[in-house]
A and B are shown apart, each in its own frame.
Chain A
Amino acid sequence: MKVLKYVVIDILKNKIVIAYALMLALFSWSTFGLEDNASKGILTILNIILLTVPLVSVLFATIYIYNSNEFIELLVSHPVKRSMIWKALFTGLSSSLVLAYLLGAGIPVLIFADASTAAIMVVTGSLLSVIFVAIAFLSSILTRDKAKGIGVSIMLWLYFSLLFDGIVLFLFFQFSDYPIEKAVVILSALSPVDLSRILILLHLDVSAMMGYTGAVFKNSFGADGGLLVSLGVLVLWAMIPFAISLRKFRRKDL
């Protein structure tokens, strides 16, 4: 806990987090200002959020972890548990990025959208921030080299944000003669970004925008069941990468 205090103070002084919150605020306010229909505005914001939140979270967290090397080295020679250092970094990074998201995008969404839509947007956006911080922890423990680590993070973001839905669609056309709906549902659980999109669109009920995976999801689970399942999987997406990185960090030579 003492460690966490110093991490949070350090991150909140960081100008990038402040710029990120301002950028989200600018996008959200101007979108709602331009669109007279709030649910159209939500869709625009959704697309912006699904691209920027993961990118900023994963990049900022990866760079921050590499720059914390000295901090980690300083602490491990003192009576501090290793897992505590790692958890403090994770909690500090997640909470400050979530805070930036809430201040930037959360406030306008809560003001303009109806309550339940706003709640889902806030929850998924926060979860996405945490998930991509966890992914950053995983990619930065995999390699000692900062440039490689940042590269891995960007590749993962690219994969989850842009390539994944394309791959699923491609597989669908290739195997369209077979009954593969179930496989597609399982596949979509493999990308947190797609899952978040499905989750929000299920709620908004705009099937035209849902994409292939979303449509299948709705057929398999119905709106409410799909919501719960996808939320659960998203939480797993935050926990598993971090748990793996923590295991590795405990055994890392510094």
Chain B
Amino acid sequence: MIEIKGISKRFGKLQVLNNIHLQLKQGECIALVGPNGCGKTTLIKAILGMVLPDKGDILFDGKTIRNDNKYREHIGYMPQIGRYPENMSIGQIIEMIKGIRDKRDGLDTELYDRYAIGDMLQKKMRTLSGGTTQKVSAILAFMFRPKVLILDEPTAGLDPIASDILKEKISDAKKRGCLVLITSHLLSELEDMVSQIIFMQEGNLVMHNSIGELKKITGKETLAKSVIEILKTSAK
């Protein structure tokens, strides 16, 4: 579904992505892990077309995303830190995105209802707490029933109840056949939904394996322990 063909990106002297090749298939839930500053967010932004790679190409359903924006109709993106126009209200933001996507029927309003956002549509974005901002991001990511979900630290800042609701929602999406790409430092949270893992370090792709293989390689029972094992061995 998404094919990444040898992309590289350099910010000044820093090589953030170094010749990354990846195949991401439908129905998978992929955890993107690695130490801070290893290029996870840059990779995600490259898929979204926010960062333009110096070399290489990204294909979405077989078509290059270069100079294209239509493919983003199929992507729901939840950024690590949602940044929104400060003096717009929650209601205006949601209305604006609906207008821009030109989709008003058949929307997925489950998160909207369960987070009870309807009660605070008047609130301005700058007055919101980090957690509420995350809720708005989550609602927007799921609202248009996308085929691909890209979630950058989705549960950071959410209270346990909200985070549980979101995890249920991610599992449902996976069952529906979505491709889910997720980064998180809280690996135990991902345990039961993740089917594959991508491990990055200093802009390089270190491994891309299914969870079963990962556990076999490291000889540990859980995802969290396996990843810590990998992190330790690669640090040596």
The interface of chain A, by Cβ under 8 A from chain B, is: 2-3, 5-6, 10, 67-71, 73-82, 251, 253-254
Contacts and interface: CB of A to CB of B under 8 A. Distances in A.
A73 B87 CA distance: 15
B73 A79 contact: yes
A36 to B, nearest CB: 46
A82 B48 CA distance: 12
Contacts of B92: 6
B27 interface: no
A79 B75 CA distance: 9
A237 B123 CA distance: 42
Contacts, number: 61
28 contacts: A2-B102, A6-B92, A6-B96, A67-B86, A70-B83, A70-B84, A70-B86, A71-B85, A73-B50, A73-B79, A74-B85, A74-B97, A75-B100, A76-B49, A76-B50, A77-B48, A77-B50, A77-B77, A79-B71, A79-B72, A79-B73, A79-B100, A80-B72, A80-B100, A82-B69, A253-B11, A253-B52, A254-B51
Interface residues on chain B, size class: 20 to 34
Nearest to B93: A74
A74 B72 contact: no
A91 to B, nearest CB: 16
B46 to A, nearest CB: 9
- The A interface is mostly helix, strand or loop, or mixed, namely helix
A53 B100 CA distance: 33
A74 B84 contact: yes
B99 A69 contact: no
Nearest to B48: A77
Nearest to B74: A79
B101 interface: yes
A76 B102 CA distance: 15
